[in-house]
Amino acid sequence: MIEAVATEHIRHAERPLLDAGAPLMAHVAFAVAQRVRHELSARTGEVGGRRVVVLVGSGNNGGDGLFTAAHLARAGVRTLAVTVAPKVHAEGLEAARRAGVVVVSSASSARDSQDALSPGAAAREALAADVVVDAMLGIGAQGALRGAGGAIVRAVNRQRPRRGGPFVVAIDVPSGIGVDDGTVPGPVLRADLTLACGSPAPGLLLPPAAHLAQDVDVIDTGLDLSGATSKVLRLEDADVATLWPRALPEHDKYRRGVVGVVAGTRAYPGAAVLATGAAVRSGAGMVRHVGADDVTRAVLAAHPEVVHGTGRVQAWVVGPGLDTEDAAQLRQVDVALAEAGLGPGAYFSGAGVWGDGGSDGIVPVVVDAGALSRLPERCAPWIVLTPHAGELARLLTERGVAVDREQVESAPAEHAATAQRLTGATVLLKGATTVVVGPGQVLSQAEAPAWLATAGAGDVLAGLLGTLLAGRSREAVQHPDLVARLAALAALVHGRAATEANPGGPVSASMVVEALPRTIARLLAD
């Protein structure tokens, strides 16, 4: 599991080391320079004579950059440091000059000096380099990257090809991202590799900034972050086996977990086929489908193991392909939601409760698509909402927070957290990077290949999550912390199955369903 702790904790953990004189900056610079040398030699076959441009800001991030430049110059790299602020780290500057780094300034105050380089000219130098090191801003960033740095980045972004061009290494974070919330308030130079100092900042895991950080490696600086409370988590493949509901010899199909799926209409039978298929193929003990007869016929034609009609379940999946005009189906959704109860101390106890797989008849529910409009005012955390950005915008607007899809996409973690607070439910917000927010918990998963943005993929995710919640139904209700982790686990496996269904190429939702058993087996064996 990757843990990105809030930057206030990083600063707090750095303090005792810096006070004790630990040479953190020297350590970071050495590690970055090593990595740049490695990239140069992997890409060009040589190190000496290659060109590196280091963009240097006013703070310690810029200091890291200057010491990195000094190492590179000593290794024979033609190193140009472009400072973007009137004052930069003094010792770093001296070290760089001593090592033979050419230092120029794009700061407006340097305009008339001999060593001035306009932002446009600096951008051209960067575009012609083999590697660019982004050391303008780290975790001290406040708002959009301003001044010469912003101008250089805008100019580079206008001309940088999607493929080819310089390899960009960001020190700590791509300069100018929202380090704690993952927003992108202004121009940012997309990194091919981000080398985080000590611990990744939350913004490296959260969209949209996460898409600008790409590969993230951590330089260990010996920070003690054990007391950190505010963090973003990302599950890794190695976490799958720990969380996955195991098939044990003493389990019959009911104990393995029964998933009830309320999905699909005559207009959209496919959603029911995909959601039930994903539940079956991810290992549910049994899958029930509740819906119109001809929809169930389509489901049974594809997955004969599905059982038609209501009965005992350990988790519900409601909403994929739902017809909001179909009163009978909506009633089923309401019954499923009632079975989830309203949360600790306020369980629903009326007639119509038939589930008994969870704690005292309470069962987790996945609420997708059309069923999102049926939510009660307050939900238990074992109700998992699975909206995409447009659906989340609608849900928030209905609850008095007027936002549109673009606003949700520009700050997904913040809006998912607002929805979590307003509803009490666990919120899984779908996207290229999926964000899950539970009470006191934030997770983000980025396994999905871009090809997964295809009709029906969300139905597959809902069914898969149904299996996970049914398999650990009782624990999910007793330990709501587990719910957000299972939701993130579903996103991880969904993304991996999409990749493994056709590595590097297009996938359909049905192909993801097909791939699930093998992907799960591989992950459990790892």
Ligand X SMILES: NC(=O)C1=CN([C@@H]2O[C@H](COP(=O)(O)OP(=O)(O)OC[C@H]3O[C@@H](n4cnc5c(N)ncnc54)[C@H](O)[C@@H]3O)[C@@H](O)[C@H]2O)[C@@H](O)CC1
Ligand Y SMILES: Nc1ncnc2c1ncn2[C@@H]1O[C@H](COP(=O)(O)OP(=O)(O)O)[C@@H](O)[C@H]1O
Chain residues in the site for K ion (CB under 5 A): 61, 134, 170-171, 175
Contact yes or no for 209/174 (Cβ under 8 A) = yes
Expressed in percent and rounded to 5, the helix, strand and coil fractions of the chain are: 45, 15, 40
Looking from the CA of 164 toward its CB, the CA atoms found within 13 Å total: 3
Residue 458 assigned to a binding site: yes
Of all residues in this chain, which one has the CB nearest to ligand Y in the complex?
A: 458
- Hey, is 491 helix, strand or coil? helix
- In angstroms, the Cα distances linking 514 to 62, 151, 216 are 49, 48, 31
254 by Cβ neighbours in 10 Å (0-12 / 13-18 / 19+) ranks as middle
Residue 128 assigned to a binding site: no
Nearest Cα to Cα of residue 486 among 401, 371, 382:
382
Of all residues in this chain, which one has the CB nearest to ligand X in the complex?
A: 138
CB of residue 425 to ligand X, shortest distance in Å: 35
Partner from ligand X, ligand Y, K ion, none contacting 134, C-beta within 5 to 8 A by type: K ion
Task: Report the distance separating Cα 402 and Cα 395, nearest Å.
Answer: 9
Instruction: With residue 323 as reference, give the H or E element that holds it.
Output: none
Residue 502 assigned to a binding site: no
Residue 64 assigned to a binding site: yes
Nearer to ligand X by Cβ, of 64 and 239: the residue is 64
Contact yes or no for 455/376 (Cβ under 8 A) = no
Nearer to ligand Y by Cβ, of 408 and 461: the residue is 461
Nearer to ligand X by Cβ, of 198 and 321: the residue is 198
Contact yes or no for 164/192 (Cβ under 8 A) = no
Nearer to K ion by Cβ, of 175 and 508: the residue is 175
Of all residues in this chain, which one has the CB nearest to K ion in the complex?
A: 175
Looking from the CA of 439 toward its CB, the CA atoms found within 13 Å total: 15
Residue 294 assigned to a binding site: no
- In angstroms, the Cα distances linking 76 to 49, 70, 167, 348 are 6, 10, 18, 72
Partner from ligand Y, K ion, ligand X, none contacting 431, C-beta within 5 to 8 A by type: ligand Y
CB of residue 383 to ligand X, shortest distance in Å: 38
CB of residue 436 to ligand Y, shortest distance in Å: 11
Nearer to ligand Y by Cβ, of 353 and 432: the residue is 432
Binding site for ligand Y (CB under 6 A): 388, 430-432, 434, 448, 450, 452-453, 455-459, 461, 494
Nearer to ligand X by Cβ, of 147 and 208: the residue is 147
Binding site for ligand X (CB under 6 A): 10, 14, 24-25, 28, 57-64, 137-147, 171-172, 197-198, 221, 223
Residue 490 assigned to a binding site: no
CB of residue 456 to ligand Y, shortest distance in Å: 5
Residue 445 assigned to a binding site: no
Nearest Cα to Cα of residue 64 among 90, 32, 91, 29:
29
Partner from K ion, ligand Y, ligand X, none contacting 432, C-beta within 5 to 8 A by type: ligand Y
Per-residue H/E/C for 164-180: CCCEEEEECCCCCCCCC
CB of residue 136 to ligand X, shortest distance in Å: 7
Nearer to ligand X by Cβ, of 225 and 307: the residue is 225
Residue 388 assigned to a binding site: yes
Task: Report the distance separating Cα 358 and Cα 336, nearest Å.
Answer: 13
CB of residue 428 to ligand Y, shortest distance in Å: 9
Nearer to ligand Y by Cβ, of 289 and 430: the residue is 430
Task: Report the distance separating Cα 212 and Cα 193, nearest Å.
Answer: 9
Residue 430 assigned to a binding site: yes
Contact yes or no for 508/454 (Cβ under 8 A) = yes
Annotation: binding site: 60-64, 134, 138-144, 172, 175, 271, 321, 388, 430-434, 458-459
Annotation: binding site for (6S)-NADPHX: 60-64, 138-144, 172, 271, 321, 388, 459
Annotation: binding site for AMP: 430-434, 458
Annotation: binding site for K(+): 61, 134, 175
